[in-house]
Amino acid sequence: MPLDAGRDLRRLPDAVPLDLVRRVLVVNLRHHGDVLLCSPLLTVLKNHVPECEVDALVYADTAPMLSLHPALAQLHRIDRGWKGLGPLAQLRSEWRLLSSLRARRYDLLIALTPHRRAQWLARLLKPRWSVAPQHAGGGKSWKRSFTHLVARPIATWRHTVECYLDALRRIGCQPSPHERSLCLVPGAEAEGRILEMLAEHRLKERGYIHVHPGSRWQFKCWPAAKVAELIDRLHALGWTSVLTAAPDAAEAAMIAQIRAAVHVPVVDLSGRLTLKELAALSARARLFVGVDSAPMHIAAAVDTPLVALFGPSGARQWGPWHVRAQVVADERHQCVPCGRDGCAGSKRSECLESLPVARVMEAVQLLLDDQATPPPAWIAHLDGEDLRA
C-alpha cells in the first residue's frame, strides 16, 4: 500500500476535531454591517457540526443583525452605555456577562476581529481551541492568547464574508458555496408592523422601490439633489419610492433636503423603523437603492435586488453579497477606492458627487428588466464596461 494511502494529505495538521466541539462562541465587536456579514459563518458551523451549540457576542445595538438566526443558541450582548453608568455599575455589568459566558463552558472561541476583549476572553474562558486574525499591533501576548491565528489575506480586495470564513478554513472546516448567503430574520412583529405601514400607504408587495440614501458616514453619501432627481425619474416609470433613514440628525437633514427637491409624492418612513422592520420593508420591495451601508447589506440578506453606489470604500471587500445587484462606481477617478473619509479628509467624496443620475438609472433599469446576472455583483463602470467584483 502506498505511503499515506487513505489519508487526506490536504488536511491541516492542527485542524480542530469538530466532532469534539459542543459549544462555540463567535465574537464580532464591530458595526452593524460587519456583524451581519458574519452570519454565513454561523450557518456553516451549524451545518458542519449540527449537534454543536453556536453562540455569538456582539454590541447590543448590533444584536438585531443576528438575533433569530436559526443557527444561534444564545446571543450575548455588550452595551456601549455601560461606560456611562459609573465604575461600579459597569463592573457589575461586565461581571454578569463574564459569568454567563463562563457558564457555557465553550470548547471553541472564534474572534473575527483583532479586538482586545476577544484576547481577554480567550484567556479567561479557557476554551480548548481559540481562533483569531493575525494582529500586528498585538505583540507576543496576542499570539500566545490563541491556539490558531488566521493569516491576513494577500489580496486586499477579498470580500469580508470570505475573510470571516477563513477562520473556519484555518481550523479545517471548508464552507460549501451554497452555505455562504447572508441570513437576517425580521421576525413576526416586524413583519406585521410593515404590513400595516404598507396598507396605510396603499403599497403592494413588490410595488415600490426602497431608497435609503444615508450612512453614518456622510462621505459615503450621494448628493441629496441627485437622490431627488432619481426619485422623480423612478416616478416617471410608474414606481413609488419609499425613503428610509436612521434616527440621526444628519440623516434627517438629508431626507429634508431630498423631500424639498422632489416634484413627486414619496413615502417617508425615515427615523420610524427598527432594523428588523427595515429588513421586512426591504424584503417586500421590488428593488433597493442605496450607498455602502448596513441597510444595503440588509437588502442583500433578504434577497432583494439592489443598486449600490460606491465611492471611497471598496466594493470588492464590502459590496453586496450573493444577491442580484449593480454596483455603480465612478472609476474615472483613478484613486477609487481610496479608503479615506472624503477627498483629503474633507468628508466630501468627489467620486460619489460626480456620479450622474443617468448612470444610476441604467443600473436600476437593468434590474427592473431582470437583466442582471447572479452574484457576485457587477461593478458598473461609467465607460459602459462591466466587470465582476
Each residue of 101-115: pLDDT tens digit? Answer: 999 999 999 999 999
Contact 273, 310 (CB under 8 A): no
Is the pLDDT at 146 greater than 80? The verdict is: yes
pLDDT exceeds 90 at position 32? yes
Higher pLDDT, 365 or 337: 365
Give the whole-angstrom CA distance, residue 367 versus residue 239: 14
- Which residue intervals of the chain bear CATH 3.40.50.2000? 18-179, 188-388
Percent of the chain with pLDDT over 70: 90
> Mean pLDDT across the stretch 59-76?
98
Residue 24 near residue 55 (C-beta atoms within 8 A): yes
Percent of the chain predicted with pLDDT > 90: 76
Query: Looking at the domain 188-388, which fold is it?
Result: Rossmann fold (3.40.50)
Determine the Cα–Cα distance for residues 150 and 344; give it in Å rounded to an integer: 33
98: pLDDT confidence band, cut at 50, 70 and 90?
Answer: very high
Task: DSSP for 125-164, please give it.
Answer: H--SEEEEE--GGGHHHHHHH-SEEEPPPSSTT--HHHHH
How would residue 274 be classed by pLDDT, with cut points 50, 70 and 90?
very high
Where is mean pLDDT largest: 87-96, 148-157, 311-320, 345-354? 87-96
pLDDT for 372 equals 47
User: Order of strands across the sheet with 72-78?
Assistant: 72-78, 53-59, 23-27, 108-111, 129-133, 148-150
Give strand pairing partners of 309. Answer: 291, 328
Query: pLDDT confidence of 293, banded at 50, 70, 90?
Result: very high
Residue 76 near residue 68 (C-beta atoms within 8 A): no
Q: What's residue 10's pLDDT?
A: 60
pLDDT band at 370 (very low <50, low <70, confident <90, very high): confident
The reported pLDDT for the residue numbered 312 is: 80
The lowest-confidence range among 57-66, 96-105, 136-145 is: 136-145
The grid coordinates of residue 69 equal 438566526
Q: Which of 118-127, 193-202, 333-342 has the lowest mean pLDDT?
A: 333-342
Long-range contacts of 338-341 (CB under 8 A, 24+ apart): 338/312, 339/312, 339/313, 339/314, 340/219, 340/312, 341/217, 341/219, 341/312
Is the pLDDT score of 16 beyond 90?
Answer: yes
Name the β-bridge partners of 288.
210, 306
The pLDDT confidence band at residue 338, using thresholds 50, 70 and 90, is low
Is there a cis peptide before residue 337, judged by omega within 30 degrees of 0?
yes
pLDDT of residue 349: 64
CATH of domain 18-179: 3.40.50.2000
pLDDT band at 155; cut points 50, 70, 90? low
What does the pLDDT average to over 120-125? 97
Residues pairing with 111 in the sheet: 27
* Cross-sheet strand order for the sheet of 287-291: 267-268, 240-243, 208-212, 287-291, 306-310, 325-329, 378-380, 386-388
pLDDT at 28: 98
Q: Which residues contact 25 (CB under 8 A, 6 or more apart)?
A: 55, 56, 57, 76, 101, 104, 106, 108, 109, 110, 121, 125, 127
Alpha-carbon span 129 to 142, nearest angstrom: 14
Give the mean model confidence (pLDDT) for residues 91-104.
97
Query: What pLDDT score does 138 carry?
Result: 78
Bridge partner list, 388: 378
> For residue 380, is pLDDT > 50?
no
- The predicted model scores a pTM of 0.90
Out of 78-92, 153-167, 197-211, 247-261, pick the least confident: 153-167
What's the mean pLDDT when you consider all of the chain? 89
